[in-house]
Amino acid sequence: MRPRPKALRQKRRYLLVRVLPPWQEIEQKALYLAVSGAVTSLFGDAHAAEIQPAVVFSDRGCAILRCRRGCEGDLSVACATVTAAGDLRVALRTVAVSGTIAALKGRMDGWIHALPPQEALYGEKEVRSFRY
């Protein structure tokens, strides 16, 4: 079967999402289940099927999510409500939206990724410090 011509394909949008805290390694499947659960709980099954959320790439404290064009705002709102992926507590923050994966991967290259928490002195107490 031949692929459809570009004019007949559904248009997609890709979201670059920052995963906080960035040092936690999250499996792509766990991230997909968290995002799709958030979309379904916010908008219902019918609109979730219309959005068609998917996780395309996940690495180094960031992820690229895919959705249909026109639904990127809904997916961004759903990402803001994610509090856990699997058994890890995480937060997802939308950084950018683009029509191509290559443009988002180009934006990811300049990021300085956070280090794991370090011990620091605050007065006389030792506390964990996070560097972003």
In total, the chain counts a number of residues equal to: 132
User: How far from each other are the two terminal CA atoms of the chain, in whole angstroms?
Assistant: 48
Angle separating helix axes 28-51 and 72-80, nearest 10 degrees: 140
Contact 64, 106 (CB under 8 A): no
Exposure string of 48-85, with b = 16+ CB inside 10 Å and e = fewer, is beebebebebbeebbbbbbbbeebbebbbebbeebeeb
Q: What is the pLDDT at residue 114? A: 53
Query: pLDDT 10s per residue in the chain (132 long)?
Result: 899 998 888 999 999 999 988 778 889 999 999 999 999 999 999 999 999 999 999 987 889 999 999 999 999 999 999 999 999 999 999 999 999 999 998 888 766 555 667 888 888 888 877 666
